[in-house]
Amino acid sequence: MDIPAMAEAVARGDRRMLARAITLIESSRPADRQAARELLTALPDRPAMRIGLSGTPGVGKSTFIESFGLMLVEAGHRVAVLAVDPSSARSGGSILGDKTRMEHLSRHPGAFIRPSPSQSQLGGVARRTREAIRLCEAAGHDVVLVETVGVGQSETMVADMTDLFVLLLAPGGGDELQGVKRGIMEIADLILVNKADGDLRATAIRTVADYAGALRLLRKRNQDPEGWPQALPVSALDAQGLAEAWTALSALYDWRRDEGVLARTRAAQAVTWLEREIEAGLHARLARDPRLADLMPDLRARVAGGTLPAEAAAETALDALLGTASHTP
C-alpha cells in the first residue's frame, strides 16, 4: 500500500480513501498496524470540534443525527459521524442499518458516516475510534460526532476522546426509567430532550426544566461557565431547536477553548490514550510472544488439572516475559 499517497488523498478530503484508511486502522494485522502508524504520522493535525453523543435506544438518535448533521453541512460544515456500539462489538458485526437510517446525510458530499468497527473488545473499539477521529479531522471534517448507546462504559470511553458530550433523552420519565446511569448524567454537557413535537411537546418542556435543575446539582466541575451544563428541547423530526442546540454547544466550545480548558482536557485525554495504548499493545504482544508461546500450553494444562494455582502460573509466565527483576518489592 502506498501510504504517502493515501495520506495525501485523505488530507485532500477524498471520502473513498478516508473509508479505506479507516479500514486500514481497524485491522489488527501487524503489517497493517505498522502502515496505520505511518499513515497517522504522515497526516496533518487539524483538530475539529469533537462531540460525543449518547442516548438509549428508541430516543431517536439516528433521526437526530440526520437532522442535526444536515443542518450543519448545509451551513457549510463538514461533518463526520462515527458510531461506537459495544453490543455490535460483542456480536462481531457492525451497525449495518446506520447509513440507511441517515439517508439524506449519508448522501451529502459534506458528510461522512462510519458504522461501529467490529472488534471483540471495547478497548479495541476505543483505539480504532480515536484513530478514526484523527483521520476524519485530517480529511477536513470540522465537526466529528461520536455516537454511542447508553451502557455506561462506552460513554466514559467516548467522553475520553471528545470535547463536548451530549445526552439525548425522551420526554417524561426519570433518568432511571430511561435506563440512563447516573455516571452518564455527570459527564453530559448538554441534555437534549427529543420529540418536543405534537402531543409530547409540553411533556418535553417540563422534562427539560427537571433536568436543568438536576444537572446543576450533579455537576461538580467548576471549569464551566455560569449556567452550564444545560438542557434544551429539540425535535429531530421537525428539525426544531437544532440551531439553538448548535449555538449553545458552540458557545461552550469557544469558552473552553479561550479559557484553555480544551487544551488541558485534550492533553489529559492524550495521556489516558497512551496508557490504553500500552495496555492494548501488551495484549497484542502477549498473544504472540515466543517466550510465552513455549510456556503457555503446559501452564494452562497444569492450571486446568488443578496441580498448579493460577496465580503461581501467572507469576511464572510474567517472569519469563519480563524477568524476575520487575517484581522485587
Q: Which residues sit at the interface with a copy of itself, rule CB under 8 A?
A: 29-31, 37, 40-41, 45, 130-131, 151-153, 179, 266-268, 270-271, 273-274, 276-286, 288-291, 299-300, 303-306, 309-315, 317-318, 321-322, 325-329
SS (H, E, C) 131-143: HHHHHHHHCCCCE
Residue closer to a copy of itself by CB (options 217, 325) is 325
Task: Write down the least CB distance from residue 256 to a copy of itself, Å.
Answer: 17
Task: Write down the least CB distance from residue 110 to a copy of itself, Å.
Answer: 27
Residue closer to a copy of itself by CB (options 33, 77) is 33
Residue closer to a copy of itself by CB (options 219, 266) is 266
Q: How many CB atoms lie within 10 A of CB 92?
A: 9
- Quickly tell me which residue has 495484549 as its cell: 283
Residue closer to a copy of itself by CB (options 39, 105) is 39
Query: Which DSSP state fits 200?
Result: G
Task: Write down the least CB distance from residue 58 to a copy of itself, Å.
Answer: 12
Closest by CA to 139, choosing from 11, 254, 263, is 11
Task: Write down the least CB distance from residue 318 to a copy of itself, Å.
Answer: 5
What CA–CA distance (Å, rounded) separates 109 from 130? 23
Residue closer to a copy of itself by CB (options 106, 269) is 269
CA distances 189 to 58, 99, 216, 232, Å, are 21, 27, 10, 11
Is 237:195 a contact under the CB 8 Å cutoff?
yes
Task: Write down the least CB distance from residue 90 to a copy of itself, Å.
Answer: 9
CA distances 10 to 41, 42, 242, Å, are 13, 10, 30
